[in-house]
Amino acid sequence: PRVELAWAMKAHQHAQVYFNLISSVDPKFLNLTKVDDQIYEEFRKTFKDLKIDVLDPEELKSEPAKEKWRPFCLRFEGVVEDFNYGTLLRLDCRGGYTEENTIFGG
């Protein structure tokens, strides 16, 4: 429980910083890592049909989706710091990181 709480606090802090960045800079000009393009390319290869503007939690939590997420994340071991951490995702990209609009993916 302590580890989960610590992770949740860290994830919340990262989400706030991230949201401030994407709210103040046009995201097409924003790079968060040196491998953003590679991550996106691999993401689209793995999740070809995933609608990303408004996420369906069932699509993320289904067994087939879970079977894809782990290998996808492992591709970035040694490339991205904290590659193995879970991720807070906004369900609707037009909203902020609120309890109702956020899901844990990982």
Provide the pLDDT for residue 61: 83
For residue 84, give the amino acid letter. N
Question: What pTM was computed for the model?
Answer: 0.74
Provide the pLDDT for residue 35: 93
Asked if 54 contacts 91 with a C-beta cutoff of 8 angstroms, the reply is yes
Instruction: Going residue by residue through the chain, which has 106 residues, state the pLDDT in tens, using 9 for 90 and above.
Output: 787 778 778 888 888 888 888 889 887 888 888 999 999 999 999 999 889 999 998 888 888 888 888 899 899 999 988 777 777 889 999 998 888 998 877 6
For residue 1, what are the domain limits?
A: 1-105
Provide the pLDDT for residue 106: 61
Provide the pLDDT for residue 30: 87
Structural domains of the chain, count = 1
Helix residue ranges per DSSP H, 1-106: 2-24, 36-46, 57-61, 63-74
Helix axes 63-74, 36-46, angle to 10 degrees: 150
Provide the pLDDT for residue 83: 78
- Provide the CATH number for the domain around residue 53: 1.10.3560.10
